[in-house]
């Protein structure tokens, strides 16, 4: 039985995930909670190597199925090596992206059939599921501007065409519609301060509901 819980921040590239996660970490620590930050692809030494392979802009030839299975391989390692032990130790795990991104990018944007995605994802998850996905919703064109203003190059998945990124965004919104208990959508076009305020409202409600269940 896990004592901790897991929240995922997800959404379009450049929506502000990394920015808001840093503030959320500070907020939870100020409440005396034990927090573990992690990310996908990545999160473990093996996962970070897989991340480099997945995101390498020098290999645009990667097949969609290779990409899907690499995400699955990294996720299996991530859960077993890092997430489950942290949750068992009572930590709050915050992940910068997780399996909702696979549905958005590999199914809704790339067009791999849902059954295949579910098959690979189920193998990776092995019955595990995060408690909540907070989707930072932003027009991908706006997100791209933000990423470019960071002054770093684009990775293989950021360097996709506009319609691909729009399908991925809509994929997040569809998942949120289908699983309202597991998803919250936040308007990420707002100021950083307002986005954080909205996110903290969701986190506080989650903390309250989990506390209620355990009493």
The site for ligand ATP (CB under 6 A) is made up of 13-19, 146-147, 149-150, 188, 191-192, 195
Q: Smallest gap, in angstroms, from Cβ of residue 30 to ligand ATP?
A: 20
Tokens describing residue 174:
């569809």
List the x/- string, 14-53, binding to Mg ion by CB under 5 A.
---xx-----------------------------------
Three-state DSSP string of 42-110: CCCHHHHHHHHHHHCCCCCCCCHHHHHHHHHHHHHHHHHHHHHHHHHCCCEEEEECCHHHHHHHHHHHC
Q: Smallest gap, in angstroms, from Cβ of residue 68 to Mg ion?
A: 21
Q: Which residue has the tokens 């939870």?
A: 28
Q: Which residue is nearest to ligand ATP (CB)?
A: 16
Q: Smallest gap, in angstroms, from Cβ of residue 99 to ligand ATP?
A: 16
For the chain, the C-alpha Rg in angstroms (whole number) is 17
Q: Which is nearer to Mg ion, 12 or 121 (CB)?
A: 12
Q: Which is nearer to ligand ATP, 79 or 147 (CB)?
A: 147
Q: Percentage helix, strand, coil, to 5, in the chain?
A: 55, 15, 30
Q: Smallest gap, in angstroms, from Cβ of residue 71 to Mg ion?
A: 16
Q: Which is nearer to ligand ATP, 17 or 167 (CB)?
A: 17
Please, which residues have CB within 8 angstroms of residue 209's CB and are 6 or more apart in sequence? none
Which one, of 114, 169, 173, lies nearest residue 143 by Cα? Answer: 169
Q: Which is nearer to ligand ATP, 5 or 9 (CB)?
A: 9
Q: Smallest gap, in angstroms, from Cβ of residue 50 to Mg ion?
A: 17
Window of 9-17, 72-80, 119-127, 194-202 that interacts with Mg ion by CB under 5 A = 9-17
């Amino acid at each position: 039985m896990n004592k901790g819980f897991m929240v995922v921040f997800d959404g379009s590239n450049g929506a502000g995930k990394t920015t808001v996660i840093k503030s959320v970490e500070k907020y939870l620590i100020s409440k005396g909670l034990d927090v573990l930050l992690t990310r996908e692809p990545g999160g473990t030494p093996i996962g970070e190597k897989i991340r480099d392979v997945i995101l390498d802009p020098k290999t645009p030839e990667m097949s969609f199925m290779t990409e899907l299975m690499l995400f699955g391989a990294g996720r299996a390692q991530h859960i077993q090596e890092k997430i489950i032990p942290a949750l068992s130790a009572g930590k709050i795990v915050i992940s910068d992206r997780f399996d909702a991104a696979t549905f958005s990018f590999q199914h809704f944007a790339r067009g791999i059939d849902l059954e295949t995605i579910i098959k690979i994802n189920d193998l990776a998850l092995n019955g595990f599921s995060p408690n909540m996905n907070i989707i930072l919703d932003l027009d991908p064109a706006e997100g791209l501007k933000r990423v470019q203003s960071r002054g770093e190059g684009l990775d293989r998945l950021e360097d996709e065409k506009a319609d691909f990124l729009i399908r991925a965004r809509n994929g997040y919104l569809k998942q949120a519609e289908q699983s309202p208990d597991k998803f919250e959508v936040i308007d990420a076009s707002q100021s950083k301060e307002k986005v954080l305020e909205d996110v903290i409202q969701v986190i506080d409600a989650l903390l309250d509901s989990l506390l209620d269940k355990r009493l």
